[in-house]
Chain A
Amino acid sequence: MRLEILEKKEELKKRAEPRFKELKFSISRIRKSPLSMVGFCIILFFVGIAMLAPVIAPPKYPHDPYKIPRYGYSTTPKPPSWEHPFGTTEGQYDIFYGVVWGTRTAFRIGFMVVGSILIIGILLGSVSGYYGGIVDEIIMRIVDTFMSLPTLILAMALVTALGRSLDNVMIALIIVGWPAYARLVRGEILSVREETYVEAARATGVSDAGIIFKHVLPNAIYPVLIMGSLDIGAMVLTAAALSFLGLGAPIGYADWGQMISFARNWIVGPPGKPLAYWYTVTIPGIFILLFVLGWNLLGDAFRDILDPKMRRR
């Protein structure tokens, strides 16, 4: 009896061994890759700023914290000082306040857009891949059409049509972004659809939805999640570009892209001091760059770790 249990234990251990090895390997990969650690730290830093925003930069208008406080109406930016650690930009908007609260805006854009895209893309992609036929054909033709248009230009046209606002920027990015996910999910599903375990589930009478969500999707989800984390950065970047062009948040809203557009007239300083207004453009730009870089590094690390084709190289 004892011997039997011992044997069973031994067998279980043997079975679990490859999985355990893989997990250990994954963790060692994360630890060993300094870039993914850097990405992780950057995102952690921004999470901290976003959470502590009311402490770091107490709002002047508590009912509307996203409104950047103004200190006067002069157009000329003022250099960093004790009251304004990063200086003030055109129209005397406080740069420090703007970048701190802009972090929240960036997270909101990234999570809302990518979250919605994931839901729409996964739903339509699964339906398309699992059922095939005419449904698949129609969805995929729509996807093709959307993917034939450059992201920024289509988003620009959508925001023009919907009206200028941050919400409409997000809606536009969702409309522009979902097709790539639908295509990816469909491809993944096609490749696992014919696996024996799916057939077995079907034979035991599991419903279509059950098969898709319990058996097919979990095996097809990793590439989607990798793309998602890379896209949080990309979407924030596109939103910032739209804001920069003047199609995003209302003037004075804490938004990194808009802060750079404030700085556009202050690239070159007065004669003799060409870099006099460096802080107006440099500081908000570094925030965008780091935020996007963080997500890209994280996504890259996920790819190396989760993709079995890449991990052994």
Chain B
Amino acid sequence: MKMLNYIIRRLLLIIPVLIGVSLIIFMLLLLFSPEQRAAVFVTDVKQLRNIQGIIAKHGLDAPIYVQYFRWISQLFQGNLGWSKTAEKPVLEAFFYFLPTTMELALFSAPLIIFIGIYLGSLSAVHKDKPIDHVSRVFAIVGWSLPTFWLGLMLLMIFYGYFSGLLPPEALGVEASLAVKSKEFIRFTRINTIDALLNGKLWIFFDALRHLVLPVLTLTIIDCAMVMRIMRSSMLEALGKGYILTARAKGADERTVIKKHARRNAMIPVVTVSGYLFALLMSGVVITETIFNRKGLGWWWARAAIQLDIPAVLGAVLFNGILFVLTNLVVDLLYAYFDPRVRLG
């Protein structure tokens, strides 16, 4: 009962954030002139002569609140406009590009979390020892690396120097032809998973080969955050009374660290995992652009340069919703595992 109460309260909290996100997007929209916004509706060159007519027809110079409610009602009907870079409606384009990005996130997120937690706790346990210094330097350098530069340097070495060892793009020529053929069934449109489901191992390995560099880029840069948080929370946990108790009872050091300290130290890491996703999405824009993987980030970057307004606003909307949902899941898991949260 208490849990249900908490869920309802937590769900209600989403509403103001979503309204806020919609207001931000709408204000972004208003930053464009009515003429620029009218251009979105132009499908034929002849219409260019009648820009004022389009503005009047779609009420682009109407009072702000009228425009806002019109825009919101369109949004609820799933009409996010037409993306000229994708040559599709924004919502359709979103589902078209999503699998490629999902694949990247699917491989990098676990790596980021596991490596981050492992190195962070290792660093805390061996505080001020060489291992601690090395992993701290690694973290701070990773945190300072420009994503785009790291990606290009990796390409220079593994694509250039080791001629074509780890290429850009999502698939090689042969594999992408095979994927497009009729007998290859696209279950999820995620290359690696589809290849396995179709029993085509060589396509799977080809997709994997194309994934190594982008995943490496994202991991090196983003696991620094997890590591840093894990280190400081592990240090805090190691100083707690229950660790002393466990040691006093004669538990061996491995049990103390693994079962008593690390488990409690992981809580702050779970808390920031919502932010981790936001960080990952920022990284995806750059990595997909560099490695020419046609996913959401690649699309958004192109949209921003070519002034594809609906796609750019769609990107903001998607990220707002993603953030709200990941945080909701995190909070609910929290309440499930930690009774203090739902009772407090």
Residues of A within 8 A of B (CB): 35, 141-142, 144-146, 148-154, 156-162, 233, 237, 240-241, 244-247, 257, 260-261, 263-264, 267-269, 274-275, 278, 281-282, 285, 288-289, 292-293, 296-297, 300, 310, 313
B residues within 8 A CB of A278?
156
Cβ A144 vs Cβ B20 within 8 A: yes
A residues within 8 A CB of B324?
148
> Could you list 9 further interchain pairs (A-B, Cβ under 8 angstroms) beyond the known A145-B16, A145-B20, A285-B152?
A145-B24, A148-B278, A152-B285, A160-B303, A161-B31, A233-B144, A240-B146, A268-B160, A300-B140
Chain A at the B interface: SS class = helix
CB distance from A245 to the nearest CB of B (A): 5
Cβ B155 vs Cβ A267 within 8 A: yes
| Known contacts A149-B24, A153-B319, A245-B301, A237 near B16 by CB under 8 Å | no
B307-344 vs A, CB cutoff 8 Å, 1 = contact: the mask equals: 10100110110011001100100000000000000000
List B residues 140-162 near A (Cβ within 8 Å).
140-141, 143-149, 152-153, 155-156, 159-161
B residues within 8 A CB of A257?
146, 148
Q: CA of A35 to CA of B289 in the docked complex: distance in angstroms? A: 34
Q: Tally chain B residues at the interface, Cβ within 8 Å.
A: 56
Task: Give 13 pairs: A residue, B residue, CB < 8 Å, sorted on A.
Answer: A144-B16, A144-B17, A145-B21, A149-B316, A153-B281, A153-B315, A241-B147, A241-B286, A247-B304, A275-B160, A285-B146, A289-B141, A289-B146
Query: When A and B form their complex, which 3 residue pairs have the shortest distance between CB atoms, in order from nearest?
Result: A145-B20, A285-B149, A152-B282
Q: CA of A293 to CA of B147 in the docked complex: distance in angstroms? A: 14
| Known contacts A157-B313, A246-B305, A300-B140, A281 near B323 by CB under 8 Å | no
Q: CA of A293 to CA of B142 in the docked complex: distance in angstroms? A: 9
Chain B at the A interface: SS class = helix
B21, B159, B312, B315: which contacts A148 (Cβ < 8 A)?
B21
Cβ B146 vs Cβ A150 within 8 A: no
| Known contacts A150-B281, A245-B305, A267-B156, A145 near B17 by CB under 8 Å | yes
Q: Is B137 located at the chain interface by the 8 A CB criterion?
A: yes
B residues within 8 A CB of A244?
146, 148, 286
B residues within 8 A CB of A156?
285, 300-301, 304, 312, 315
Q: CA of A264 to CA of B291 in the docked complex: distance in angstroms? A: 11
Q: Is B75 located at the chain interface by the 8 A CB criterion?
A: no
Which A-chain residue is minimally distant from B36 (CB atoms)? A161
Q: CA of A139 to CA of B300 in the docked complex: distance in angstroms? A: 29
